[in-house]
């Protein structure tokens, strides 16, 4: 059996207003067009109302807004019967930072005791955050939000949560004890719950902790269903701004303004999008867990090909693609989203069939460009903009603006990581003036075409470490060393 080779491909963008059922209705039309391959946008559960699907919250479930597994299988059978194949877009780099992301909410509830704590690319040891993950979605500080009555504690879906408008973030176990002790006339059942919470503190194994916590929540729900005690507790705390703020500060995460991430951050995100938190896909457990459904659908023959979103965001693209090829088998067609810079070539070692073709589109676009009008267009542009600087100068300025004004947190993390990894001796570092290391790394990022155009990594990658070290030790241009 030869590898599937897609031809006459047609892009399908699924969302709540165009689902599996509506797609099924246009299949006869696509057949008349001569379409032989469907290239589908991400189909796994995404943020409610998502119009694109790249903000995945659950890779184990088909997005209920677009359909079900049964409908997917029916579509696959229908397409196969008329010779149309399915190429599926997958998103291994990141997931949505959203309350519907059950893996992430488990981390916010349990911190490093969560079985999913290693799944997300977070630096828990950052001294700026005292081991707490940023939740940067407030319009201002947590104190200001409490003063405006925007944050309250509520009981939803069998657990206590911090409510901020329509977002709900789970509370840590230690908070339950404080809340349950704030009212009088506690019953024996309430006191037993408090004792159970105290016992949880001695559990260090994540799986064991998760099991006992689940048991506690079941008992908590049963007791709360029969008593009005919790209502009294929540009413007292929600009317006391200082006590509410103390509880907010006790969580394993820190509610804060979205603007803080311009200068500090302790999780890797997709470019400057706070709402997309990146995964540690280089960890085998994470890879296996995330790709369970993908593997199942490949084995069923529902997918004949895969398109990998944002391959450069991964810790080790080569290792990831080797794992994906092993999972998908030799017959599956695999392409990646990668923007090749001028002079850059696709790594020959990657076990894929190519890229999604941005570089090809660039060449095709040149066919529609009239070279003889270049000077006239340039004259018009210069008259309109009145900026005589070179394109290189303008590009460098924009890169610097984004780096210093919107990705200052990532830059700060790179500086700290450079020092932690001992990439330069303490004597060499001590000779630098304040912020000169940061300036060196920033200049490298701004002036390096192949790296500055990619996402600034929250963690230095292996190649970047060597290059940064070489740059710093030879930074005569900047007179840094």
Nearest to 46 by CA among 273, 253, 300, 276: 276
Residue 308 CA to residue 293 CA, distance in Å, equals: 15
Is residue 109's pLDDT more than 50?
A: yes
β strands within 119-271, DSSP E:
133-138, 151-156, 159-164, 167-170, 253-257, 269-270
Please count the other Cβ atoms lying within 10 Å of the Cβ belonging to residue 445: 24
Cα gap 123→420, rounded to integer Å: 13
Is the per-residue pLDDT at 461 higher than 60? no
142 Ramachandran zone, left/alpha/beta (phi>0; psi -120 to 50): alpha
Q: Is 357 left (phi over 0), alpha (psi -120 to 50) or beta?
A: left
Q: What is the pLDDT of residue 468?
A: 52
Contact 303, 332 (CB under 8 A): yes
pLDDT by residue (tens digit) across 397-418? 999 999 999 999 999 999 888 8
Q: Over the stretch 378-388, which tens digit does the pLDDT of each residue have?
A: 899 889 988 88
Kind and range of the H or E run holding 250 = none
Query: 439 in helix, strand or coil?
Result: helix
Please determine, for residue 481, whether its predicted confidence score (pLDDT) is greater than 70.
no
Tokens 């080779």 map to which residue?
5
The encoded tokens of residue 151 equal: 């944050």
Residue 102 confidence class, pLDDT cut points 50, 70, 90: very high
CA–CA distances in Å: residue 423 to residues 124, 373, 428, 470, 473: 22, 50, 10, 9, 10
pLDDT at position 435 is 86
pLDDT of 422 strictly over 60 = yes
pTM above 0.85, yes or no: yes
Residues 6+ apart with CB under 8 A from 436: 478, 480
**pLDDT value of position 112:** 94
Q: What are phi and psi of 138, to 5 degrees?
A: -85, 160
What's residue 225's pLDDT?
80
- Contact between 50 and 21 (Cβ < 8 Å): no
Residues whose CB is less than 8 angstroms from the CB of residue 427 and which lie 6 or more positions away in sequence, other chains included? none
Contact 352, 323 (CB under 8 A): no
Contact 99, 319 (CB under 8 A): no
- State how far the Cα of 463 lies from the Cα of 474, in Å rounded to an integer: 17
Cα separation, 153 vs 248, in Å, equals 9
Give bridge partners of residue 161 from the DSSP assignment.
154, 170
Consecutive H or E run containing 56: strand 56-62
Alpha-carbon torsion (13, 15, 20, 24), positive or negative: negative
Q: What are phi and psi of 186, to 5 degrees?
A: -75, 135
Rounded mean pLDDT of 211-218? Answer: 95
Question: What is the reported pLDDT for 480?
Answer: 38
Percent of the chain residues topping a pLDDT of 90: 68
Tokens 């990581």 correspond to 417
Higher pLDDT, 432 or 119: 119
Give the containing element (helix H, strand E) for 363: helix 358-367
pLDDT band at 432 (very low <50, low <70, confident <90, very high): confident
pLDDT in tens, 172-205: 999 999 999 988 878 889 999 999 999 998 999 9
With CA atoms as reference, report the closest residue to 84 among 41, 44, 43, 33: 33
**Which band of pLDDT confidence, cut at 50, 70 and 90, is reported for residue 449?**
low
Predicted confidence at residue 1, as pLDDT, reads 64
Across residues 49-71, what is the average pLDDT?
98
Q: What is the pLDDT of residues 344-399, one digit of tens each?
A: 889 999 999 999 988 888 888 888 888 889 899 889 988 998 888 888 899 999 99
- Please say if the pLDDT value at position 452 is more than 50: no
Q: Is the pLDDT of residue 67 over 80?
A: yes
Q: How far apart are the first and last CA of the chain?
A: 60
409's CB contacts (< 8 A; 6+ apart) are 260, 261, 262, 263, 264, 265, 266
Q: Is the pLDDT of residue 327 over 80?
A: yes
Count other C-beta atoms under 10 Å from residue 433's C-beta: 8
Token output for 258: 């979205």
pLDDT of residue 427: 86
Domains of the chain: 9-93+279-363 (3.20.20.80), 120-273 (no CATH), 386-478 (no CATH)
């Amino acid at each position: 059996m030869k590898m599937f080779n897609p031809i006459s491909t047609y892009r399908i963008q699924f969302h709540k207003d165009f689902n599996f059922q509506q797609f099924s209705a246009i299949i006869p039309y696509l057949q008349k067009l001569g379409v032989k391959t469907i290239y589908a946008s991400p189909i796994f559960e995404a943020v409610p109302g998502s119009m694109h699907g790249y903000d995945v919250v659950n890779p184990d479930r088909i997005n209920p807004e677009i359909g079900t597994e049964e409908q997917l299988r029916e579509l696959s059978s229908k397409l196969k019967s008329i010779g149309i194949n399915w190429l599926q877009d997958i998103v291994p780099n990141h997931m949505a930072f959203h309350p519907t992301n059950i893996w992430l909410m488990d981390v916010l509830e349990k911190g490093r005791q969560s079985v999913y704590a290693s799944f997300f690319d977070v630096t828990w040891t950052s001294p700026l955050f005292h081991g707490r993950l940023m939740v940067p979605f407030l319009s201002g500080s947590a104190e200001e939000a409490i003063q405006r009555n925007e944050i309250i504690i509520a009981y939803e879906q069998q657990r206590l949560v911090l409510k901020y408008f329509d977002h709900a973030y789970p509370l840590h176990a230690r908070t339950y004890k404080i809340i349950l002790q704030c009212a009088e006339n506690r019953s024996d059942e309430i006191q037993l719950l408090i004792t159970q919470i105290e016992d949880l503190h001695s559990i260090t194994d994540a799986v064991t902790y998760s099991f006992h916590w689940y048991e506690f929540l079941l008992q908590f729900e049963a007791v709360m269903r029969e008593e009005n005690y919790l209502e009294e507790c929540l009413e007292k705390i929600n009317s006391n701004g200082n006590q509410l703020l103390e509880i907010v500060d006790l969580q394993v995460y820190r509610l804060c303004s979205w603007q803080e991430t311009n200068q500090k951050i302790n999780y890797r995100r997709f470019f400057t999008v706070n709402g997309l938190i990146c995964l540690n896909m280089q960890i085998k457990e994470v890879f296996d867990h995330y790709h369970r459904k993908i593997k199942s659908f490949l084995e069923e023959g529902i997918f004949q090909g895969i398109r990998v979103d944002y391959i450069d965001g991964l810790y080790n693209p080569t290792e990831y693609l080797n794992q994906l090829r092993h999972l998908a088998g030799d017959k599956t067609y695999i392409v990646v989203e990668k923007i090749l810079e001028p002079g850059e070539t696709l790594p020959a070692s990657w076990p894929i069939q190519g890229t999604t073709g941005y570089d090809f589109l660039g060449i095709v676009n040149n066919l529609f460009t009239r070279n003889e009008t270049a000077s006239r267009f340039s004259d018009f542009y210069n008259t309109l903009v009145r900026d005589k600087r070179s394109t290189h100068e303008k590009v460098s300025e924009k890169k610097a603006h984004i780096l210093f004004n919107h990705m200052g947190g990532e830059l700060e993390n790179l500086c700290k990581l450079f020092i932690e990894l001992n990439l330069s001796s303490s004597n060499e570092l001590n000779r630098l003036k304040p912020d000169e290391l940061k300036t060196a790394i920033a200049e490298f990022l701004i002036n390096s075409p192949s790296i500055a155009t990619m996402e600034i990594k929250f963690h230095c990658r292996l190649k970047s470490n060597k290059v940064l070290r070489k740059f710093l030790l030879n930074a005569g241009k900047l007179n840094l060393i």
